[in-house]
Amino acid sequence: MSMLSIENLVANHGLLNAVKGVSFSVEKGDVLSIVGSNGAGKTTLFRAISGVHPIVSGSVLLDGDAIDNVSANRRVEKGLVMVPEGRRLFSDMTVKENLMVAAEHGRKGDWVLDKVVDALPGLKSIVNKRAGGLSGGQRQSVAIGRALMSNPTILLIDEVSLGLSPIAIGELYESLDHLKQKLDVTFIIVEQDLNRAITFSDHTICMLEGSIELEGKSSTLDKKDIYAAYFGVEEGADA
């Protein structure tokens, strides 16, 4: 049985059909990257899986059980945790306070403040700083740290590297690689940087206009095919 199965999921924004019957499964310990151009439906899909965006039809199954009627908070308690696009930190609170909020509301487990602070780049030196004054890389570290405080079994990270400097991206992926090896966590990431997405993941899905255009093992997918799927180029056309 797959750890997470998405079956024919449909989600709208008003009259706009943003996710058009998407299906895929993720096995325990697997890393899945979702790529696709702006507006492909990646964020809406993530939000629907997390329970913060309503689904029109289809189903989300966690360990074989449909969780469609389970609230977003309960999904976090079950281990399904999302790092949203834009990080969404409490700007007036310190890093530590941001992390402790998640500890109160998430699953209990090994991931406590000291361990989280040690696991992510640069957190130690900013733990008492206000989140509002942090750089993009620092904010992303705190956002991922906050998710870890909920002791996730499945961690969805939307737009891992968007808006970050190359140095911050390098440091962040170094930590994520480390976490991937050490942690019993299944990762699903949305990543604009195709090379990072492919290198970090076991499987890749490319979305186009709300549907899955291409999917496969990251190590065997041809980058040319991914680019074609990304931009919706017809087979045989010049990419």
Ligand X SMILES: Nc1ncnc2c1ncn2[C@@H]1O[C@H](COP(=O)(O)OP(=O)(O)OP(=O)(O)O)[C@@H](O)[C@H]1O
Binding site for ligand X (CB under 6 A): 13, 16, 18, 36, 38-44
CB closer to ligand X, 95 vs 189: 189
* Least distance between ligand X and beta carbon 135 (Å): 21
Question: What values do phi and psi take at 136, rounded to 5?
Answer: -60, -45
In the complex, the smallest distance separating the C-beta of residue 42 from ligand X, rounded to whole angstroms, is 4
Minimum gap (Å) between residue 124 Cβ and ligand X: 31
| Backbone Cα Rg of the chain | 17
Instruction: Provide the CB-side half-sphere exposure for 65 (13 A, CA).
Output: 6
Nearer Cβ to ligand X (120/157): 157
Tokens of 225: 């095919």
Which residues 6+ apart lie within 8 Å of 106 measured at CB? Answer: 76, 77, 81, 149, 150, 151, 152
Do the beta carbons of residue 196 and residue 161 sit within 8 Å? Answer: yes
- Return the number of the residue (119 or 198) whose C-beta is nearest ligand X: 198
Q: How far apart are CB 187 and ligand X at their closest, in Å?
A: 17
Pick the closer one to ligand X by CB: 41 or 106: 41
Spatial distance between the Cα atoms of 36 and 231, rounded to a whole number of angstroms? 8
Residue 44 or 151 with smaller CB distance to ligand X: 44
E strand intervals along the chain: 4-13, 16-26, 31-35, 57-62, 65-66, 80-83, 154-157, 186-190, 203-208, 211-217
Minimum distance, C-beta of residue 93 to ligand X, in the bound complex (Å): 26
Q: Which is nearer to ligand X, 31 or 205 (CB)?
A: 205
Name residues whose C-beta falls within 8 Å of residue 111's C-beta, 6 or more positions apart in sequence: 148, 149, 150, 151
To the nearest whole angstrom, how small is the minimum distance from the Cβ of residue 162 to ligand X?
A: 8
CA distance 215 to 35: 10
